[in-house]
Chains A and B, each alone.
Chain A
Amino acid sequence: MNLDLLIAIFITVVGASTPILIAATGELVVEKSGVLNLGVEGMMLVGAITAFLVVFLTGQHYLAIVLAAGAGIATSMIFGFLTLSLSANQTATGLALTIFGTGFSALAGQGYSARPVTLLGPLFPAELATHPVLRILFGYSALVYFALIMVVAVWWFLKKTRAGLILRAVGENDLSAHSIGYSVIGVRYAAVAFGGAMAGIAGACFPLLLTPQWAERMTAGRGWIAVALVVFASWRPFRLLAGAYLFGLVMTMELYAKAGGGPLSAIPSELWAALPYLATVVVLVLISIRRDASTNAPACLGRPFLPSN
């Protein structure tokens, strides 16, 4: 295998893993605050259709990313209001949010499927971005670098800042955090909104980074894989990186198998398409065998907070 092909594969892997990484980074913060939002897939779809429509109508990629983040926040606030203000069941509300995002995005995108838009171009100048070797570092769009920066930023925020400490305290022991005067509900609203923004941007990756068009359910379960990835990473930001690139690799193998040629195409293409989901199950099994996985989960994950009782 020559160097050119290896670089091409590496770049495809990075692209495929970027939306999962962004969504998982957001969900990690949400879960660290003690909230389980299973609506990632729905928020991603709302972000995807928002980004598509903005690019289709204005051609402004960065505006599309910002508005996709806004749409993700707006969607996440439905979840926030129901689970935090009305202490509704988080599992059921997250599922409802995914069903809502699927229906809403399909409705908003009605009549736009298969209409082409342009992809977001590389961030760096063409001499670097198209250089045969250096493109492995400089050949990506801003979203890819954003994903990496956010992993570091979230690690720094959770480990090194006071606000991050408060957020973790709320997730580990909500009653204590409440009794020393922190607003548990307020912190959780902020975390849910951050998760919504990240899921919206993750959704924007689909029309802007991967396939330059709108298709119903185009996120194809990647939001759920992001939720699984947080468990896989046992709530540690840097482990998200390893997990996301592993999934990116599996998805890239599917693309190369479908393109034909080589030993990969001997296996039915449907098996390749099913592989990311089966790999998720396998990964969850492996992680549960390791001992620290479940013990590292935030102690209040998924439990509603009811201070007055």
Chain B
Amino acid sequence: MQFRLEKRPEPSKLMLYVTPVASVLLTMLVGAIIFSLIGYDGVGAVREIFLTPLTNSFKWQDLGVKAAPLIIIGVGLSIAYRANVWNIGAEGQYVMGGLAATGVALATYGMTGWWILPLMMIAGIAGGAAYAAVPALLKTRLGVNEILTSLMLTYASVQLIYYLVRAPWKDPMGMGFPQTRRFAADALLPNIIPGTIVHLGVPIAIVVALIAWFVMSRSVFGYQMKVVGAAPHAARYGGFSENKTIWLALLVSGALAGLAGMLEVAGPFQRMVPGFPTNYGFTAIIVAFLGRLNPLGVILAGIVMAITFVGGEVAQTTIGLSSSATGVFQSMMLFFLLAGDILVRYRLKRVIPAQEARA
């Protein structure tokens, strides 16, 4: 029995939503098999990574805290990727947002007031957007590939943290540790559920995703992003400027990554440390794709990815699995998703040999 691929007249809506779910399930199945084959407790690994974070209610707060930055960055990337603008330097924009917010927190140290947090937020957003403006400028003015520039700037931004926490921003009372001082109370995100670690960033993430969904599906801006991405020639004919789209895509995704950086440094971290870049910017790439470049899908995908992070930590303590296994599971999910894409555009058709012989 043979199968042939036949192009669908229109992309399948059903497959568009089925394939992300299927790729998560396939990852669990294939992951269990592969990890068993290479000598780990495969079933245990999948149970701890994918199920324990859901069944153990103590872990729910961790899920929210991990999902928030992934959702915020993922929403921004989904907008950029819709427009075919490949910002993969979100990690660097996240770092610059965190650094800009840190700058405000340190400059206002000793002051009090409700205005400090909003100011840090503005600084974070501006920092991320400014760092994304570099690839935007180079792409629109000189046609330099934004993939390479945004990524190279990420490597450079990490060195900037190292420098700042080693020398000018180092905590004078830090006993030599390369880190800034702990932010003052008015520069820290408030907890929204007493007794947990859930901070203001969690509801912000949901609000950001909902606003983005509304804008992308209801506004001219959203329409422009989609048209330029899907049909650049038609977009030009319709009067949408390609350069303007590139600028908007990079600024919006950079701003959101910067916002995530501010929320992380003012929330979980409470100070700037060399370990601040935690790969949220790279994982958010998977989140954006798994969420089908749709802000509502990104919420779900962000939660799924947060489950694998929290579960990876669980598996590390309970069955001694390295936390890097999480990355293998996450990339496997993306592989299955990309492979499944063909089912969105094509359908499998059975080829009957007799017919083929006649033809």
Contacts and interface: CB of A to CB of B under 8 A. Distances in A.
Q: Do A and B bind each other?
A: yes
Interface of A: 38, 78, 81-82, 86-89, 91-93, 95-97, 99-100, 102-104, 106-107, 110, 216, 220-221, 224-225, 227-228, 231, 268, 270-271, 273-274, 277-278, 280-281, 284-285, 288-289, 294, 308-309
B342 A288 contact: no
Given A38-B147, A96-B338, A268-B163, A285 B328 contact: no
Contact of B86 (A82, A86, A91, A280): A91
Contact of B152 (A87, A268, A280): A280
Contacts, number: 128
Contacts of A104: 327-328, 331
A100 B149 contact: no
Contact of A274 (B134, B156, B326, B334): B156
B148 A274 contact: no
Interface stretch (B49-57, B220-228, B252-260, B282-290): B282-290
A274 B163 CA distance: 11
A225 to B, nearest CB: 8
Nearest to A86: B342
A280 B154 CA distance: 12
A92 B147 contact: no
Given A88-B338, A228-B152, A285-B144, 16 more contacts: A82-B338, A88-B339, A89-B338, A92-B338, A95-B285, A99-B286, A104-B331, A216-B324, A221-B151, A270-B166, A273-B162, A274-B160, A277-B156, A280-B152, A288-B138, A288-B144
Contacts of B160: 270, 274
Measured as residues with beta carbon below 8 angstroms from the partner, the interface class of chain B is 35 or more
B138 A284 contact: yes
Nearest to A279: B152
Interface string B299-312: 00000000000000
A273 B155 CA distance: 9
Contact of A82 (B138, B332, B339): B339
A86 B326 CA distance: 25
B109 to A, nearest CB: 24
Contacts of A96: 286, 331, 334-335, 338
Contacts of B162: 270, 273
Nearest to A88: B338
Interface in B322-359: 322, 324-332, 334-335, 338-339, 341-342
16 contacts: A82-B339, A89-B341, A91-B86, A92-B289, A95-B88, A96-B331, A103-B330, A104-B331, A231-B145, A268-B167, A270-B166, A273-B162, A281-B149, A281-B153, A284-B149, A285-B144
Contact of A86 (B285, B328, B334, B341): B341
Nearest to A109: B324
Interface string B124-163: 0000000000100010001111011101110110011011
